[in-house]
Structure 1
Amino acid sequence: MRKTVWLAVAAALPLGLGLTGCGSGSASDGGGNKDGALVVGATPVPAGEVLGYIQDHLAAKAGLKLQVKEFTDYVLPNTALQEGSLDANLYQNKPFLDDFNKSKGTDLVPVVDAYLPPMGVYSKKVKDVTKLPDGATVGVPNDLTNEARALKLLAASGVIELKKDAGAQASPADVVKNPRHLRFKEMEAAQLPRSLDDMAAAVINNNFAQDAGLSPTKDSIYLESAKNNPYANLLAVKRGSEKDPRVEKLAKLLTSPEVKKFIEDKYQGSVLPVSGG
């Protein structure tokens, strides 16, 4: 069973607030009972689709009961995991997880990398990122990790230059060359696709782009490279649950040849498997 939680203002919610309206089932089905369903939080695309494939085609044979709960933001899947209403989640990369733990005081750990969803620059105004007009407004995610990732992508495209030491916390203040005088509009990542009409371009996370009907390989005007990319999405759990047999089964399935083929066939390069199969 897959449930979707629609929360546009999740970033304002306190860590102690529990999930509501998620339907039947919680980590109490599995967290204290290793024979119960593993409750996994995920964004709809691609994580929810990958988990849905596992749920429909692989889980039963592996002896895994799997329940997927979908979220449309980047905060609640982690707060729910910390609180115990989820057993695991799949939607984030390691830099984001590290920053979340540091800023929120959570104790979440990675289990295995699952796939790479490349971030892209999208526009309804231009077909080439190097043709952005002078003074153009470019939307970027407003969370620390994804904003830094977006700025690095723009730097890789050549339209801006960042300080040499700008790392995982890079911000517009780290832009040292901006020949087109681009203006950066910081927005909640989920809102960027629907705001494309109001800006020259936006740097959009893969899952939100695909959920909005945008194809990373066909519609982006500049796409992140997979080479030496640290932003693979990973399966995460609360510390101490890494050896849960259900988690180990899901980790094995996520890196299986079957899931590798599913990702390659379904996404045609818009999402990349990280396992050699």
Structure 2
Amino acid sequence: MNSRKLLAVAVVPFLAFTVACGSSEASEGGNETVRLGVVGASDPEWAALTDAAAEEGIDLEVVDFAEYTQPNPALTEGELDLNQFQHLVYLARYNVSSGEDLTPVGSTAIYPLGLYSTKYKSVEEIPEGSTVAVPNDESNLARGLLVLQSAGLVTLKDGGSAFSTIDDVDEAASKVTVTTLEASLTPTSLPDVAAAIINNDFVQDAGLNFDDAIAQDDPTDPAAAAYVNIFASRAGEENNETYQKLVSIYQENQEVLDAVQETSGGTAEFLKVPVEELKTSLDTVEEDTRAQG
């Protein structure tokens, strides 16, 4: 297991975080305070970002969440200034389903989504009729199903898309049966299934290495552009100078970038996408999401 030591970062557990806030505010020392929601605050990039931000006059408070379903509502309700845990597809689905309008502030990286197994060393070894687990949140479910299809384990009706669901699996033409679980539970399912799609946030916590993946998608594929991870804010705050400065620190500080690669096992593909381009991409995915009904 690649251990991830708990670093000196201002981590605020969500359940104890009760002070509502609007935009960033000044701390007692004159620095601006920004409350940032993440999943996995012990990852080393957050300590590196906190230190680098402090040098630029920003007091960063990292608020930790256990599940992907929590940071967007917290941002919507004003309990955070920003969050950074999701890609554009996930944000689009949240906005459409909730009627909210959270918006991207800046890009971070694209990460491959991998299939892992503790029983089999290759996709070819997985027996016919086995069960494979995938995350149950809509955006990662669809992406996971596309990974399984590219690996030859399932066949998706109409070729599959970013909106594929479990109902789109052609069971008669597929090698395996697919079951869905909350994303944090797919790693713990490994003893009971042939393989599982595991989100990057949970790979090392499960005692796995990223190079243990027996299949994964290609983050450099243009079709993967909608899966770029982002900082998100409430609508109208995306051009906040402090938030933009924080994004720039993340994108340009070498200690932060090195820490991200440490967390991701060297798999991160860093991208600097202009905010307007991110917003246009988000609008497109939201329109496609609404069209799916």
Q: 2:218 aligns with which of 205, 215, 225?
A: 225
Partner of 2:62: 68
- Structure with greater helix share of residues: 2
- One-letter code of the match for 2:124? T
Q: Contact conserved, 2:82 with 2:232, CA < 8 A, in 1? A: yes
Aligned residues: 256
Is 1:161 aligned with 2:155?
Answer: yes
Q: 1:40 aligns with which of 21, 36, 53?
A: 36
- One-letter code of the match for 2:214? I
Partner of 1:79: 73
Q: How does 1:178-193 map to 2 (within 5 A)?
A: 179=173, 181-193=175-187
Q: 2:189 aligns with which of 169, 190, 195?
A: 195
1:158, distance to aligned residue in structure 2 (A):
2.1
1:27, distance to aligned residue in structure 2 (A):
5.0
Partner of 1:54: 49
- One-letter code of the match for 1:235? F
Which stretches of structure 1, 4 residues or more, deviate above 6 A after TM superposition?
none
- One-letter code of the match for 2:46? L
Counterpart Cα distance in 2 of 1:185 and 1:266: 27
Q: 1:272 aligns with which of 264, 269, 272?
A: 269
Counterpart Cα distance in 2 of 1:112 and 1:26: 25
Is 1:214 aligned with 2:208?
Answer: yes
Structure 1 portions without partners, runs of 5+: 6-19
Per-residue CA shift, 1:95-115, capped at 9, x if unaligned? 010001101122201111112
- One-letter code of the match for 2:197? V
1:3, distance to aligned residue in structure 2 (A):
2.8
**SS of structure 2 residue aligned to 1:197:** helix
Structure 1 residues 192 and 60: CA distance shift in structure 2, 3 A: same
Counterpart Cα distance in 1 of 2:172 and 2:114: 19
Structure 1 residues 179 and 252: CA distance shift in structure 2, 3 A: same
Q: 1:149 aligns with which of 136, 143, 162?
A: 143
- TM-score of the pair, normalised by structure 1: 0.84
Fraction of identical pairs, as percent: 33
- One-letter code of the match for 2:202? F
**SS of structure 1 residue aligned to 2:96:** helix
Q: 1:171 aligns with which of 154, 157, 165?
A: 165
Is 1:2 aligned with 2:19?
Answer: no
The alignment yields a C-alpha RMSD, in angstroms, of: 2.3
Counterpart Cα distance in 2 of 1:89 and 1:116: 16
Q: Contact conserved, 1:209 with 1:216, CA < 8 A, in 2? A: yes
Structure 1 residues 32 and 121: CA distance shift in structure 2, 3 A: closer
Q: Contact conserved, 1:26 with 1:86, CA < 8 A, in 2? A: no
Counterpart Cα distance in 2 of 1:206 and 1:136: 23
**SS of structure 2 residue aligned to 1:37:** strand
